[in-house]
Structure 1
């Protein structure tokens, strides 16, 4: 005798229960997919951020782009305010700066903040300031080697100003000087070269350098120098920075109105075509402009006491 399999009776079809089951299935599937996508996005975001920070990429960005930004703006006092704002797609740092003025003159109240950014592939973004800054100092630097403002014109300007007034001045040489010649010239006239111009580039911003241009600029023998002796460490710092640049940096450098060829030439020759002094006395400028080594002097700013009798 064969036992018959007893099956439970089939329940009546319940449309509402079926719809609820379908909705639960859809929601469960959607939740799983959404969770997977969120996890994927988090992994990708963290991964790309880590890729941005790989090795010493942030430090090199500061060394190359941060320094190039200062060379791009020699008429500004600049310092890095924060580094680095890192996203999966870019790295950026902020710089605070204000136009260079004659020391002892007007306060710049800390200046303004600017952002320099490079994308995931290391290309620099749109840059602030630069050729559009149009300060009196950038104009004076752009006039180096143009023949504008000859001595006879500058003498008239200097004659109208009080001898004890501080000036921001660009002193241009009749021929480029070696570092030791520049140091001797500065000592003779008690001058303080704050920036040195290392190329002849009329009607454009030339390559300039001082100890604050690159945060890791070396000091000669690690000692503090007289301000007239500072050009020794300037050239050492310029050469050290140019030495760390690679051929692939050239594209970014051109965005800063620079090029590897110009930088290497300036560093190799090490010749001073002019210098910037932010604390020159008008009386001293009257003396040094008569030196045969001087082509001309351009006064970009002065401190003036409105209460002077």
Structure 2
């Protein structure tokens, strides 16, 4: 004999309760899926940011790519504005700058903002300015060692201009000078080598450097130098920056029209093929162009006071 199980009576089917239960199930499932997706996006975003900023990667990006961008545009006064804008797939910084002009003339205030970006794998994207900038100074730098605009042509240009006019000029030498020779030359003519050209590269932008090119350059040995003594600081700064570069930086450097081999050669030799002077005067250029060490002078900009008599 078996015990009979007593089952509760089956409830009547309630369509409204059933629909409410289905809606609750759908909403609960959707909420769980949405929460999972949000969590996944957050993990991916935070994880990607942490991976891209691991160690000193953001600082190294500024040191290598920011400095390379300045070398890519020696005819501009540039400063890194902010760093770094990080997305799940890239890191970027902004640079503010304006073309170099003769001191005392049409000063460039503010300037424009440019963005330098590298992807998740550290490769550089499309770069602004560079060879497409086509300023008078970049053209003058590209003409160094080409033989264009010889002395006799420059003398005619200088003769047409007032002697007291300030000028932005590129002074090219008949042979490359050592740092000591460049300092002595500057002292003789009270010249100010604001940037120094450290390689022979006709028809292309050469490696042109000063101690402000790298934001973390070593401090000058003294703060009371005359401007003609600055080449010593420039070369120390160039060598210090090149020493921080690694073989794997070469791929990105080539995007800036540079190469590790060229940079190391220029830093090791330390020879000045030309220099840029923002504080020159037409009268001063007339004197120094007659020096046997000078191959030619290229005037890239002058100041002119329209109100003077």
TM-score range, shorter chain: over 0.9
Summarize the alignment of residues 1-309 of structure 1 with structure 2, pairs less than 5 Å apart: 4-309=4-309
Determine the C-alpha separation between the residues in 2 that align with 1:9 and 1:292.
117
Q: CA deviation at 1:22?
A: 2.0
SS at match of 2:201: coil
Determine the C-alpha separation between the residues in 2 that align with 1:161 and 1:137.
18
SS at match of 1:202: coil
Change (3 A) 1:252 1:224: farther
Task: Summarize deviations over 1:112-166 as a string: whole Å, max 9, x none.
Answer: 0111111111111111100000001001001101111100000011111111110
Q: CA RMSD in A?
A: 1.2
Determine the C-alpha separation between the residues in 2 that align with 1:238 and 1:97.
21
Q: CA deviation at 1:2?
A: 5.9
Structure 2 residue runs of 5 or longer lacking an equivalent are none
Q: CA deviation at 1:222?
A: 4.7
Task: Summarize deviations over 1:81-118 as a string: whole Å, max 9, x none.
Answer: 11111122111111110000000000223110111111
Task: Summarize deviations over 1:242-278 as a string: whole Å, max 9, x none.
Answer: 1110111011001100000110110011000000001
The runs of 4+ residues in structure 1 deviating greater than 6 Å are none
Task: Summarize deviations over 1:162-200 as a string: whole Å, max 9, x none.
Answer: 111100000000000000000000000000000000001
Q: Which moved more, 1:214-223 or 1:57-66?
A: 214-223
Determine the C-alpha separation between the residues in 2 that align with 1:224 and 1:116.
35
Q: Which moved more, 1:131-140 or 1:24-33?
A: 24-33
SS at match of 1:307: coil
Determine the C-alpha separation between the residues in 2 that align with 1:29 and 1:110.
54
Structure 1 residue runs of 5 or longer lacking an equivalent are none
SS at match of 1:297: strand
Q: Which moved more, 1:144-153 or 1:31-40?
A: 31-40
Determine the C-alpha separation between the residues in 2 that align with 1:234 and 1:107.
24
Determine the C-alpha separation between the residues in 2 that align with 1:15 and 1:305.
91
SS at match of 2:85: strand
SS at match of 1:221: coil
